[in-house]
Amino acid sequence: MNIQSFFDLDRNELGRFMENLGERSFRAQQIWQGAYVDLAPSYDEITTLSKPLRAALTEKLPLGPLQVASTIESRDKRTQKSLFRLADGETIEAVLMFYDVRRTICVSTQVGCAIGCAFCATGKSGFTRDLSAGEIVAQVLHFARELSSRGERITNIVYMGMGEPFLNYDAVMKSIRILNDHEGFNLGARSFSISTVGIVPGIERFTAEDSQVNLAISLHAGNDQLRTRLVPINEQYPLGSLMAACRTYVRKTRRRLTFEIALIDGVNDSISDAQEVANLISGMLCHVNLIPLNPIPGSIFRPSPRERVDAYEQKLINAGINTTVRMGRGVKISAGCGQLRGRSR
C-alpha cells in the first residue's frame, strides 16, 4: 500500500499502523477523532497525544498531503475555489459552493484528465497522474475546517472536479469510505455524488457495490457520432453499451440515475437533439440536469441561449422525463463544470 499521508489510511489501517509503532489501539481512535471530528490541521493540535508521539507521527505519517497555493472567491461570495499544491509539485483545484442550506464541495480525482472532452478545460492540459485517496480526502478536510470556523459543515461532496473518477476507482471509493466512517467525518452515503463520462466497466463495478452513493452520467448527446465528437471515450464505450450499463444499474440498485448535458450553442441544443436524448433514456428511473456550457478561453464553443435551453427542457418534460436547468456557479472565476485547470494564475 502506497501511504503518502494520514488521510490515505482508513480507520482499521490506522490501527495497524499505530500497533506497528508500538502504540496501544486507543491512540488510533484519538488521532481519528482529532482529524475527522475536531478537524485538527496538525498533530500538534491533537493534545491527547504526547509531544514525542506527535513528533513521530509528523515525521512518519504526515497529516497534510497538500498545501493551499491560492484561493479566489466569486463576487457574490457563493463560490470559492482553491488551488492546491501536492507533495510532488503538481496542482489541482477544488470548489466550495454555498446554496440556501447546502454546502457542497466539488473535488478533483486526478491531476489533469485523459478523456479530452472537446469543451472541457481540464482535458486540454492532459493527464499527469491519479490522486491518492488521501489527496482527495484532504481537499474535503480543507474546506471542512473553513466552514467549521463559521459554525457550518459540509453537507454534500461531488466528484465532478478534475479527472474521471472511474479511471481512479479504488482511490475514489476509499475516500468515500473514509469520509463516510461513522466514528469520524460521518457524512452520509447519499450526500456523495460521483460523475462519470461513461466508463462502462466502472459503472458495472459500482453497480455491484450496491452503494447509496449517487451516480451521474455526463451524456451530452443522444447519438454516437455527435457524442464521440464531444466525448472521445464514446468510441470505446458507445451509447449502446453505456445505456445497457445504466439500465442495469437502475434495475439492480433501484436508485435514480442523473444524466448531465452541457448545452452548446448550435452543436447539441436543438429540438431534434432533445428528442434523441428522450428516446435514449425513455422509461428509465432518471433525472436530467441541463447545464448551459461554461465557456473556457480559446474554445470555439459557446453556451446555448436561454430560449433554446428552455425549449430543450420542455421537450424532455413533455416526454415524461424529470428535467432541471442548472445555471453555472463560479463561472467568472473559472470554477464551473469543465473550467478547472489546476494551474497557477
Full set of structural domains in the chain with CATH: 6-60 (1.10.150.530), 66-333 (3.20.20.70)
Chain segment 212-228, per-residue pLDDT in tens: 999 999 999 999 999 99
The pLDDT of residue 287 is 98
Residue pLDDT, tens place only, 315-327: 999 999 999 998 7
The verdict on whether 246 is a catalytic residue reads: no
Please tell me the predicted confidence (pLDDT) of residue 1.
46
For range 289-295, the mean pLDDT: 90
Catalytically annotated residue among 23, 93, 146, 276 = 93
pLDDT value at position 3? 65
Query: What HEC string does 272-300 produce?
Result: HHHHHHHHHHCCCCEEEEEEECCCCCCCC
Q: Is 286 a catalytic residue?
A: no
Please determine, for residue 147, whether its predicted confidence score (pLDDT) is greater than 70.
Answer: yes
- The percent of residues in the chain predicted with pLDDT above 70, rounded, is 94
Q: Can you tell me the mean pLDDT for 87-104?
A: 94
On the question of pLDDT at 290 being above 80, the answer is yes
- 38 has pLDDT over 70: yes
Average pLDDT over residues 178-193: 98
The 3-state secondary structure of the chain reads: CCCCCHHHCCHHHHHHHHHHCCCCHHHHHHHHHHHHCCCCCCHHHCCCCCHHHHHHHHHHCCCCCEEEEEEEECCCCCEEEEEEEECCCCEEEEEEEECCCCEEEECCCEEECCCCCCCCHHHHCCEEEECCHHHHHHHHHHHHHHHHCCCCCCCEEEECCCCCHHHCHHHHHHHHHHHHCCCCCCCCHHHEEEEECCCHHHHHHHHHHCCCCEEEEECCCCCHHHHHHHCHHHHCCCHHHHHHHHHHHHHHHCCCEEEEEEEECCCCCCHHHHHHHHHHHCCCCEEEEEEECCCCCCCCCCECCHHHHHHHHHHHHHCCCEEEECCCCCHHHCCCCCCCCCCCC
pLDDT in tens, 241-280: 999 999 999 999 999 999 999 999 999 999 999 999 999 9
> Of residues 120, 246, 286, 337, which has the active-site annotation?
337
Q: What is the pLDDT of residues 65-85, one digit of tens each?
A: 899 999 999 888 899 999 999
For 222, the grid coordinates are 443522444
